[in-house]
Structure 1
Amino acid sequence: MKQMTLVLAIAAALMSGTATALVQPEEVFSWQELDFAWPSKEAEDEAVKNGEYIRENNLPLGIDAWKDKLFITVPRWKAGVASSLNYIDLRTANKSSPLTPYPSWEANKLPKQGQQPPENQIVSVFRSFVDTCDRLWVMETGLADILGSPHQVSPPAIVIFDLNTDKVLRRYLLKPEDIKGDDSFFANIVVDLQPGRCDEAFAYIPDLGGYGIVVYSFKDDDSWRIKHNFFHFDPLQGDMTVGGVNFQWTDGVFGIALGNPNENGDRTVYFHPLASTMEFSVNSHALKNRTLATDPHSYDLYKIEGTKGPNSQTSESTIDPKTEVMFFTQLQKDGTACWNVKTPLEPSNVGMVAEDTERMIFTNDITIDSDRNLWMLSDRMPEFIYRRLDPNQINYRIFKVPVDEAIRGTPCDPMYQQSTTLRNAQQL
């Protein structure tokens, strides 16, 4: 009876045109500039003196959660990045907590010329992925000072950590055929596996510059590269304005989100280029089977899901398994949107769950933790790249909101779908 009452209430709101999200996300962290948990004040002063730490050059980009740790990546866009892979202990954190290097300070230091780097060496990471087997996967680009004098410190590699021991389980160097010359740029990694089948994991690594996806099989310790027209950017959607900064990007396939597995353990893999408003999909079987994945005749296995609407360019996306709602960043709309994948992808089925023209400028990354909280990071990156951030204002923020609260009253809410069905029935 209570459920029917709620359905009727939502239906009434819809018919009056007032259905909206009911909550604002909690601002959990905010920084003017990033600080780090240095071993000592002397160590920090020495790093500043040597140019190893230039405070304004450290921009947070990726987030992921595991138990009481919130991982935060800081790519080496410019010189002076103190540590690329970091975390915050949520049990002791304050609103402007310093970042602690993971797994250690030593692992995040740039090696000296001629120095043999350790196995857990991390040069520059954009995003990470925590799987259900308590492993942290990172796509180590090995590239430093990207916007200044870029140099390849170490080969691109997948590095997998055991989060219970903080030890490296495996370091896999991408093969030359996985990389498309100087065009390749790896800024994301997503891991596909079934519960309890940790050794059968597959990693999907989009190449936004080389317009391909690299697939890695943990069991076979092997990788292969896939190409498809849907991995390319849309030339009509590369002109963007964010936070008053106009720029043109040609980023191809970027965000990947995994649907729920079917009885065979396969799932829908949703993906999109960044410079695009479209969403595409393919069954994971077409990626995990190397022969099929690299067969040109598999082209038609890829599908067009639809469009998110005007100015809806997206970096990251993720799906809540319980509701099958996809969340995706909205770079030009200063926020995060949602789409229930059980409905057709069209603008009327897309809802904004968070939007703030000041605090959410360039919502760069999102993740959902094991308690079904949606985390969002905004970092004003276009201003960081093309202008200069004001150190006297808050530039970086991390928000949190429960998934069910985020979608309430939006077209993504399952109750919304029920109320729409009821409304249509009343109109017959």
Structure 2
Amino acid sequence: MLCFYFSFFVFALVGHDHQVSALANLEEVFAWKELSFAWPSEEVHNAALKDGDYVPGNNLPLGLDRWKNKLFVTVPRWKNGVAASLGYVSLDEPINKTASIVPYPDWKANILPKAGGKPEDDNYIVSVFRVFVDVCDRLWVMDTGLADILGEPTVISPPAIVIYDLNTDKLIRRYTFKAEDLKQDSFFANIVVDVDKDKCDEAYAYVPDLGGYGIIAYSLKENDSWRFKHNFFHFDPLHGDFNVGGVNFQWTDGVFGLALGPADQNGFRTAYFHPLASLNEFSVNTAILRNKTAANDPHIYYAFKLEGLKGEKSQTSASAFDEESNSLFLTQLNKDGVACWNTKRHLTPENVALVASDPGRLIFTNDIKIDAERNLWILSDKMPQFIYRELDPNEVNYRIFRVKVADVIAGTACA
């Protein structure tokens, strides 16, 4: 049976330095006290509030990615009352900083079946943490299938990769993970896609399993998946302690962030990855991940490499790679910011540059993405407060920023 995995323990209030140390000129594009949604009508909105299908304070944005004038935003079903787990906000000018989330692909797909019921077809979304927009105008969604995660976890459907055509908003495929892909503590909170724009049908997706300590590889062409295991996927017991936004907590999340470098002459890439509870960064060539046979070959152990140490308090959730500068961007949860590392240099703490830091506005930088125009997008959401305490609805709790990559790395070791 699939079990939810998200490890958390006792929290304590700690002191916090409120001095703003923003190193980059970030543009605050969106800022919400609570998320709102683009309801079909006021009547539907009021009914959702009345029935508890929409509890404003329970809707926390977590993941993002951009496609043209749409900025996709995910809202995992941590608690009851999430209106829609996948949606977008418009980037058409003028931008409304408190824009309502438009459910994607539509409202129907985001509505949970009634108790005991099952979805009517494959075009549905249960609970999403992160998404990935590929170069072939497709949206890849990792649907956990799990609702009310922090309350009474309910498995609506097995974990699945859901793929949409962004030009038509039509479902391309829903691929449900096989039983052998899953462990008892499996939990899938991320997805990255390895594809060439001239070979769209030959895409591969890589999905870290933060609870079961593995990586699932999926071939679109073969419509098949396989699982890798490795010691590097496990958390570091010495670095699972976090102090973020005035909350102290301990997590045991394993392999989490994953980003792909540029393709080599054979079309393969370097996949950079790290456990969330760790200070190290690792890598493996995607020639390994694409090889189903290699998944069960013990000799591939040495194909996985330790890149180096990022530095103290450098625990990272998400990462993103900028090919032009050869730089890997890394969220810095314990530093209220984002750092970068030029992969042409050895990975040492001295070669990791903190490019954005703000203990007021960048509390828990949960996700980052780099779009086709080389904008770095950053989402911060105060998630520790959301999980362990309560957020103040009178304060801005969720923010999305953007900044040009060239600007944010200027004068740093990543330039």
State the TM bucket, normalised to the shorter chain. over 0.9
Q: Deviations over 1:360-411 (max 9, x none)?
A: 0000000011110000000000000000001110000000000000100111
Within a 5 Å distance, the mapping from 1:336-351 to structure 2 comes to: 336-351=338-353
Aligned to 1:118: 121
Within a 5 Å distance, the mapping from 1:327-342 to structure 2 comes to: 327-342=329-344
Deviates more, 1:106-115 or 1:120-129: 106-115
Q: Which has the larger radius of gyration?
A: 1
Aligned to 1:3: none
Aligned to 2:266: 264
SS of match in other structure, 1:213: strand
C-alpha deviation, 1:194, in angstroms = 1.6
Looking at structure 2, the residues matched to 330 and 197 of structure 1 have their Cα atoms a distance apart, in angstroms, of: 34
Residue 215 (str. 1) matches residue 250 (str. 2): no
- Structure 2: runs of 5+ lacking an equivalent: 1-20
SS of match in other structure, 1:246: strand
Looking at structure 2, the residues matched to 117 and 174 of structure 1 have their Cα atoms a distance apart, in angstroms, of: 19
Looking at structure 2, the residues matched to 140 and 276 of structure 1 have their Cα atoms a distance apart, in angstroms, of: 25
Aligned to 1:79: 80
AA matched with 1:396: Y
C-alpha deviation, 1:119, in angstroms = 1.8
C-alpha deviation, 1:120, in angstroms = 1.3
SS of match in other structure, 2:366: strand
C-alpha deviation, 1:41, in angstroms = 1.1
Aligned to 2:390: 388
Looking at structure 2, the residues matched to 30 and 44 of structure 1 have their Cα atoms a distance apart, in angstroms, of: 22
AA matched with 1:82: A
Within a 5 Å distance, the mapping from 1:249-398 to structure 2 comes to: 249-398=251-400
SS of match in other structure, 1:56: helix
Q: Please, what is the CA RMSD of the aligned residues?
A: 1.1
SS of match in other structure, 1:76: coil
Q: Deviations over 1:179-216 (max 9, x none)?
A: 102x0000000000122101111000000000000000
The alignment of Structure 1 onto Structure 2 pairs a total of residues equal to 393
AA matched with 1:402: K
Q: Check whether the contact 1:21–1:409 (CA below 8 A) recurs between aligned residues.
A: no
Aligned to 2:97: 95
AA matched with 2:168: T
Q: Check whether the contact 2:22–2:358 (CA below 8 A) recurs between aligned residues.
A: no
Distance 1:343 1:21, change over 3 A: farther
Query: Greater share of helix residues, 1 or 2?
Result: 1
SS of match in other structure, 1:91: coil
SS of match in other structure, 1:37: coil
Aligned to 2:412: 410
Looking at structure 2, the residues matched to 396 and 116 of structure 1 have their Cα atoms a distance apart, in angstroms, of: 31
Q: Check whether the contact 1:351–1:410 (CA below 8 A) recurs between aligned residues.
A: yes
Residue 231 (str. 1) matches residue 233 (str. 2): yes
**TM score, norm. by length of structure 2:** 0.93
Q: Check whether the contact 1:22–1:408 (CA below 8 A) recurs between aligned residues.
A: no
Q: Check whether the contact 2:23–2:356 (CA below 8 A) recurs between aligned residues.
A: no
Looking at structure 1, the residues matched to 369 and 297 of structure 2 have their Cα atoms a distance apart, in angstroms, of: 33
Q: Check whether the contact 1:280–1:305 (CA below 8 A) recurs between aligned residues.
A: yes
AA matched with 1:59: L
Looking at structure 1, the residues matched to 400 and 161 of structure 2 have their Cα atoms a distance apart, in angstroms, of: 26
SS of match in other structure, 1:405: helix
Q: Deviations over 1:90-137 (max 9, x none)?
A: 115301101000000000000123354332110000000000000000
Q: Check whether the contact 1:21–1:410 (CA below 8 A) recurs between aligned residues.
A: no
**TM score, norm. by length of structure 1:** 0.91
- Structure 1: runs of 5+ lacking an equivalent: 1-19, 414-428
Q: Check whether the contact 1:22–1:409 (CA below 8 A) recurs between aligned residues.
A: no
C-alpha deviation, 1:335, in angstroms = 0.6
Looking at structure 2, the residues matched to 369 and 206 of structure 1 have their Cα atoms a distance apart, in angstroms, of: 22
Looking at structure 1, the residues matched to 58 and 373 of structure 2 have their Cα atoms a distance apart, in angstroms, of: 33
**Identity between Structure 1 and Structure 2 (%):** 64
AA matched with 1:79: N
Aligned to 1:144: 147
Within a 5 Å distance, the mapping from 1:125-136 to structure 2 comes to: 125-136=128-139
Deviates more, 1:292-301 or 1:96-105: 292-301
Distance 1:101 1:304, change over 3 A: same
Within a 5 Å distance, the mapping from 1:14-93 to structure 2 comes to: 23-91=24-92, 93=95
AA matched with 1:228: H
AA matched with 2:302: D
Aligned to 2:6: none
C-alpha deviation, 1:293, in angstroms = 2.7
Looking at structure 1, the residues matched to 293 and 299 of structure 2 have their Cα atoms a distance apart, in angstroms, of: 11
C-alpha deviation, 1:22, in angstroms = 6.7
Q: Check whether the contact 1:205–1:215 (CA below 8 A) recurs between aligned residues.
A: yes
Q: Deviations over 1:248-291 (max 9, x none)?
A: 00000000010111100011110000000100001110110111
Within a 5 Å distance, the mapping from 1:412-427 to structure 2 comes to: 412-413=414-415
Aligned partner (choices 136, 154, 173) of residue 176 of structure 2: 173
Q: Deviations over 1:12-57 (max 9, x none)?
A: xxxxxxxx99741101100000000111111111001111000000
Looking at structure 1, the residues matched to 407 and 22 of structure 2 have their Cα atoms a distance apart, in angstroms, of: 8
Distance 1:78 1:410, change over 3 A: same
AA matched with 1:130: V
